[in-house]
């Protein structure tokens, strides 16, 4: 195991020797897939609105800061050169040259200058250079120079019997080199010989520069030469860097420095005295080492047309980037600067290099593994490591503590010989034994929780933050041996949270905001100002870093780096933001590292190196937003471009879907442009910020609209708001003619409706009258029916009364007759019949009294007046006595009950019944009583 460790250490040392260190400006890389064209890019130019144009093998490329657009050359051949002059994009290629201009739709269209002219292009002639001077445009091929007059469109030709290598412009003078002949200049449209030196030696001149009243000739493989007083002498500009390279392109930047493009070694920048400032190749950020063209844009960015892609170097950027492409360093967690060296603590170990040099990073032996902490305390560099604590002396590491996982080390106020450190399992103490010697003294007993963040809140009082458990307040004894007491403070724990002390206040930061510790109340209170910048919506990390040297407190959110400074005129802190999104920062979230390098420079560790910000060079420049294209169409149809110059555009209702494309010409890699828009007339509020540089409105209702858009770059809103006004016509069914037709139709319908209503209501009135008549008749009938029912009820009552009276009378007769018969019988039994004859005669007269029968008959007829008639009609032969028997049978009286009424015996009644049956012709089986009841 020890052997493996030794081999690993030795390997890291060997690898570290090859870690080439160079901090370079940010480089934006565009691949052929990004711009959708071919690899090689021969020339770069910029228009007045800051758009970039590139001559590519497949045609002309346009870049507006948001997206690339390819315009293929008319003959589908390679473009070798491009140059923008006053709104015209001149280009040259295979057997053709001409210019492109913007049409009314925002696109480009091409006009050739070689067609229908008095000259004829040579076979296979290609145009490699374009220069403008005094209203003339010069196109250079390998055989000729064509001078185009933009005013009268005339063309003059300068012939060359030998190859023309390149054409150069110096102080409004055009120079060119004839291969093997010499250098010439153009005066009055004619070539004038300058010198034959270099050319006779077949030394190819790449460019010619002005240099304090002299000319500097930059050659392809032999460096710089100075031409003065018709003499040429070799210059010693960057001899070491230029001795073994072959140059292809170059330019002189506005600051007087030279940017040189090589065939296989990337770029080299020299100052105006010839000293090397910068070298960048593929290993340090370029996508290709062959630089075919160089162009400095209006903002000082350097555009490189490469053999494979297009790169932009943000030369004036406040940022410098170190990229560890081999991954040897690993992710940076800590950094520190001594008087001599820069140290980086990573997940691979500790590395260092000589400060402010191009030297390589070297590995500090014995520090393999995770480094958490680096800081100089009392003149000694301490390294907190996964394995313990180390003291670093240049390239040597001395382990002084075996306590695993040293997160942090802090000084203890009033105890200069002691240091407290937070470890994986609590707190421990380091003790100074001599001036420069430290040793591990003891673990503080009574607290075993991981202590990544520690801050003193008072004498012998420490706050410890743990992202999963929360914040603890710990009281330690005066000897820093034991914990006397600890408690958890009432504040939510949060992943990637931290505490930090700034201006004597302790701040706690997590996803719900920033809180300040109130020592009197012993809890955290929300800081409303700082929380707005580190709020939940923007939250990325709660890591806070106190930069005591710069008196700043740093924080990090999703889109910005924030630093807080003490107010110059008040105690209220000043909050500053650096707009750089987290995806561009590429650091380890929750483990962000920051180092003050001095002079406003800060180093930020990333997962693959680091970048440096110079706060003094941060500029709040405001860019301009451009409207590039507006197109319209109907629902789900193909869109058609609109004339951008046309104001107050009116669209038909059918074409109510519009797309807007816009952009900001900001080419800084580390500042992301975002856009907002609104459509006044339907969406009056600004949209949320978005990186999308186009918006599509589909199926808009008719009305007047004003589209507005703005952008924010580097935290600064554009200095203009683009506006485009248009209107969508009403649909045909809402136009005046249609409305007139609607009104007429409505009136006609109203008249028809009125007529129909009158007719309807007449019918309804007639129906109603008929209905009321019928209802009245029905009501009358109902009344009659009710009256009849009432009469029937009364009649029924009368009948019932008569029946009762008849029944009563009948019963009275029966009882009377029975009584009289009884008396009669009793008298008949008397001894002297003569004595009772008069009485019996009187009784018989009462028994046979016809008045009783008449009274009975009248009562019976009142109840059943038609019965007697029906019986006589059915049986005319019956006698009155028979009718009298029928009446009694009708009353359902028995023979026994009838006998007294007829004053006959029961047997006689039966005889009468028999005779009556015969008169009625009834069958033997048929009941006489039932028959009479049914009549």
Percentage of residues in the chain having pLDDT higher than 70: 91
**Mean pLDDT for the chain overall:** 88
This prediction's pTM = 0.77
Note the pLDDT tens digit of each residue in 641-662: 988 888 788 998 888 999 999 9
When mean pLDDT is compared over 151-155, 438-442, 668-672, 860-864, the highest value belongs to 438-442
Alpha carbon distance 82, 43 (integer Å): 6
Note the pLDDT tens digit of each residue in 565-620: 987 666 778 888 888 888 888 889 999 999 999 999 999 999 999 999 999 988 77
Burial class (CB in 10 A: 0-12, 13-18, 19+), 593: buried
What pLDDT, on a 0 to 100 scale, did the predictor assign at position 95? 94
DSSP state of 19: B
What pLDDT, on a 0 to 100 scale, did the predictor assign at position 276? 92
pLDDT at 800 over 70: no
Note the pLDDT tens digit of each residue in 248-259: 999 999 999 999
Residue spans per domain, the chain: 625-730, 737-934
pLDDT at 296 over 80: yes
What pLDDT, on a 0 to 100 scale, did the predictor assign at position 195? 92
What pLDDT, on a 0 to 100 scale, did the predictor assign at position 842? 61
DSSP state of 515: E
pLDDT at 216 over 90: yes
Note the pLDDT tens digit of each residue in 746-795: 899 889 988 888 888 888 888 888 888 888 888 888 888 888 888 877 77
Residue among 249, 163, 177, 180 at smallest CA distance from 215: 177
What pLDDT, on a 0 to 100 scale, did the predictor assign at position 24? 94
Q: How confident is the model at residue 927 (pLDDT cuts 50, 70, 90)?
A: confident
pLDDT at 623 over 90: no
Alpha carbon distance 169, 177 (integer Å): 12
The SS3 of residue 581 is: coil
What pLDDT, on a 0 to 100 scale, did the predictor assign at position 853? 66
Q: What's the per-residue H, E or C state across 854-902? A: HHHHHHHHHHCCCHHHHHHHHCCCCCHHHHHHHHHHHCCCCHHHHHHHH
What pLDDT, on a 0 to 100 scale, did the predictor assign at position 827? 67
Alpha carbon distance 859, 869 (integer Å): 15
Q: How confident is the model at residue 880 (pLDDT cuts 50, 70, 90)?
A: confident
Alpha carbon distance 157, 139 (integer Å): 10
Alpha carbon distance 500, 552 (integer Å): 11
Note the pLDDT tens digit of each residue in 815-836: 666 666 777 776 666 555 565 6
What pLDDT, on a 0 to 100 scale, did the predictor assign at position 790? 82
Identify the H or E element spanning 226.
Answer: strand 224-228
Alpha carbon distance 213, 217 (integer Å): 13
Note the pLDDT tens digit of each residue in 21-31: 589 999 999 99
What pLDDT, on a 0 to 100 scale, did the predictor assign at position 18? 44
pLDDT at 706 over 90: yes
Cα–chain center distance at 837: 138
What pLDDT, on a 0 to 100 scale, did the predictor assign at position 810? 63
Alpha carbon distance 646, 112 (integer Å): 27
The SS3 of residue 366 is: coil
**What are the beta bridge partners of residue 562?**
555, 577
**What are the beta bridge partners of residue 431?**
418, 439
Cα–chain center distance at 53: 33
Mean pLDDT of 72-78: 89
pLDDT at 700 over 90: yes
pLDDT at 11 over 50: no
Alpha carbon distance 808, 800 (integer Å): 12
What pLDDT, on a 0 to 100 scale, did the predictor assign at position 85? 96
pLDDT at 48 over 90: yes
Q: How confident is the model at residue 804 (pLDDT cuts 50, 70, 90)?
A: low
Lowest average pLDDT, out of 306-310, 467-471, 886-890, goes to 886-890
What b/e readout covers 719-745, taking b as 16+ CB neighbours within 10 angstroms? eeebebebebbbeeeeeeeeeeeeeee
pLDDT at 132 over 90: yes
What pLDDT, on a 0 to 100 scale, did the predictor assign at position 7? 40
pLDDT at 350 over 90: yes
Alpha carbon distance 886, 897 (integer Å): 13
Do residues 669 and 26 touch, judged by C-beta distance below 8 A? yes
pLDDT at 854 over 80: no
What pLDDT, on a 0 to 100 scale, did the predictor assign at position 834? 60
pLDDT at 5 over 50: no
Cα–chain center distance at 188: 62
Alpha carbon distance 518, 507 (integer Å): 10
The SS3 of residue 475 is: strand
The SS3 of residue 423 is: strand
Q: Does the structural domain 625-730 have CATH classification 3.50.50.60?
A: no
Provide the CB-side half-sphere exposure for 176 (13 A, CA). Answer: 29
Identify the H or E element spanning 336.
Answer: strand 332-337
When mean pLDDT is compared over 399-403, 583-587, 751-755, 917-921, the highest value belongs to 399-403
Distances (CA, A) of 245 to 112, 223, 234, 307: 38, 9, 17, 16
pLDDT at 863 over 90: no
Identify the H or E element spanning 34.
Answer: helix 32-35
What pLDDT, on a 0 to 100 scale, did the predictor assign at position 707? 95
Percentage helix, strand, coil for the chain under 3-state DSSP, each rounded to 5: 25, 40, 35
């Amino acid at each position: 195991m020890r052997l493996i460790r030794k081999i690993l250490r030795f390997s890291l040392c060997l690898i570290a020797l090859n870690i080439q260190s160079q901090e370079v400006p940010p480089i934006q890389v565009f691949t052929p897939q990004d711009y959708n064209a071919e690899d090689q890019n021969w020339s770069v130019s910029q228009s007045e609105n800051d758009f970039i144009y590139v001559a590519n093998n497949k045609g002309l490329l346009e870049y507006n800061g948001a997206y690339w657009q390819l315009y293929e050359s008319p003959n589908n051949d390679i473009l070798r050169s491009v140059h923008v002059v006053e709104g015209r994009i001149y280009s040259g290629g295979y057997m053709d040259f001409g210019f492109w201009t913007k049409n009314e739709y925002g696109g480009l269209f091409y006009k050739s200058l070689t067609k229908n002219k008095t000259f004829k292009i040579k076979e296979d002639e290609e145009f490699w250079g374009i220069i403008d001077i005094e209203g003339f445009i010069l196109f250079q091929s390998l055989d000729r120079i064509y001078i185009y007059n933009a005013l009268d469109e005339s063309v003059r030709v300068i012939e060359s019997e030998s190859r023309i290598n390149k054409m150069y412009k110096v102080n409004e003078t055009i120079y060119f080199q004839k291969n093997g002949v010499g250098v010439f200049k153009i005066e009055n449209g004619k070539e004038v010989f300058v010198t034959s030196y270099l050319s006779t030696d077949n030394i190819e001149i790449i460019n010619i520069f002005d240099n304090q009243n002299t000319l500097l000739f930059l050659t392809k493989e032999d460096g710089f030469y100075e031409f003065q007083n018709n003499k040429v002498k070799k210059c010693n500009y960057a001899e070491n860097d230029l001795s073994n390279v072959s140059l292809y392109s170059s330019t002189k930047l506005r600051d007087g420095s030279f940017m040189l493009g090589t065939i296989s070694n990337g770029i080299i920048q020299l100052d105006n005295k010839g000293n090397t400032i910068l070298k960048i190749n593929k290993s340090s950020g370029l996508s290709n080492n062959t630089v075919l063209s160089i162009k400095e844009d209006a903002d000082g960015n350097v555009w490189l047309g490469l053999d494979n892609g297009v790169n932009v170097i943000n030369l004036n950027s406040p940022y410098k980037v170190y990229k560890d492409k081999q991954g040897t360093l690993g992710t940076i967690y800590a950094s520190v600067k001594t008087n001599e060296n820069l140290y980086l603590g990573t997940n691979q170990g500790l590395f260092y290099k000589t400060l402010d040099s191009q030297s390589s990073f070297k590995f500090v032996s014995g520090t393999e593994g995770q480094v958490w902490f680096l800081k100089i305390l009392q003149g000694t560099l301490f390294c907190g490591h996964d394995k313990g604590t180390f003291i670093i002396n240049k390239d040597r590491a001395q382990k002084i503590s075996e306590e695993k996982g040293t997160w942090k080390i802090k000084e203890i106020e009033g105890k200069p010989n002691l240091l407290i450190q937070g470890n994986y399992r609590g707190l421990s103490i380091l003790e100074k034994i001599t001036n420069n010697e430290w040793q591990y003294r003891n673990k503080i007993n009574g607290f075993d929780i991981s202590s990544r963040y520690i801050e003193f809140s008072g004498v012998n009082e420490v706050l410890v933050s743990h992202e999963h458990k929360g914040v603890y307040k710990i009281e330690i004894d005066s000897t820093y041996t034991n914990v006397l007491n600890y408690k958890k403070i009432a504040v939510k724990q949060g992943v990637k949270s931290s505490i930090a002390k700034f201006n004597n206040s302790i701040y706690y930061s997590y996803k719900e905001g920033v809180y300040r510790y109130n020592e009197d109340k012993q809890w955290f209170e929300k800081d409303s100002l700082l929380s707005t910048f580190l709020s939940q919506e923007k939250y990325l990390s709660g890591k806070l870093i106190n930069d005591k040297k710069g008196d700043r407190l740093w924080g990090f959110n999703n889109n910005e780096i924030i630093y807080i400074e003490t107010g110059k005129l008040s105690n209220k802190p000043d909050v500053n933001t650096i707009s750089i999104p987290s995806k561009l920062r590429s650091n380890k979230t929750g483990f962000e590292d920051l180092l003050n390098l001095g002079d406003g420079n800060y180093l930020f560790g990333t997962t693959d190196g680091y970048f440096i910000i110079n706060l003094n060079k941060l500029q709040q420049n405001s860019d301009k937003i451009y409207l590039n294209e507006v197109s319209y169409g109907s629902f789900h149809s193909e869109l058609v471009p609109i004339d951008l110059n046309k104001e107050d555009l009116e669209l038909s209702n059918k074409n109510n879907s519009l797309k807007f494309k816009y952009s900001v010409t900001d080419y800084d890699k580390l500042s992301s442009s975002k856009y907002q828009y609104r459509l006044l007339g339907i969406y009056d509020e600004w949209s949320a910020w978005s990186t999308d540089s186009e918006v599509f409105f589909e199926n808009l209702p008719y009305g007047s609209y004003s589209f507005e858009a703005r952008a924010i770059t580097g935290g600064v809103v554009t200095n203009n708001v683009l506006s485009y006004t248009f209107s969508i016509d009403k649909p045909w069914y809402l136009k005046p003619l249609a409305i007139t037709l609607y009104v007429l139709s409505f009136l006609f319908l109203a008249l028809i409706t009125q007529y129909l209503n009158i007719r309807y209501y007449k019918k309804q009135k007639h129906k109603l009258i008929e209905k009321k008549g019928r209802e009245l008749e029905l009501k009358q009938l109902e009344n009659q029916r009710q009256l009849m029912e009432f009469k029937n009820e009364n009649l029924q009552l009368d009948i019932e009364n008569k029946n009762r009276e008849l029944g009563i009378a009948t019963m009275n007769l029966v009882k009377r007759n029975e009584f009289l018969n009884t008396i009669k019988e009793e008298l008949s039994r008397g001894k002297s019949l003569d004595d009772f004859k008069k009485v019996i005669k009187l009784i018989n007269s009462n028994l046979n009294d016809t008045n009783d029968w008449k009274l009975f008959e009248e009562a019976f007829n009142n109840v059943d007046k038609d019965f007697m008639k029906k019986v006589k009609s059915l049986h005319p032969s019956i006698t009155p006595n028979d009718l009298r028997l029928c009446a009694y049978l009708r009353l359902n009286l028995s023979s026994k009950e009838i006998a007294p009424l007829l004053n006959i015996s029961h047997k006689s009644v039966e005889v009468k019944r028999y005779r009556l049956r015969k008169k009625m012709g009834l069958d033997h089986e048929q009941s006489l009583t039932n028959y009479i009841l049914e009549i």
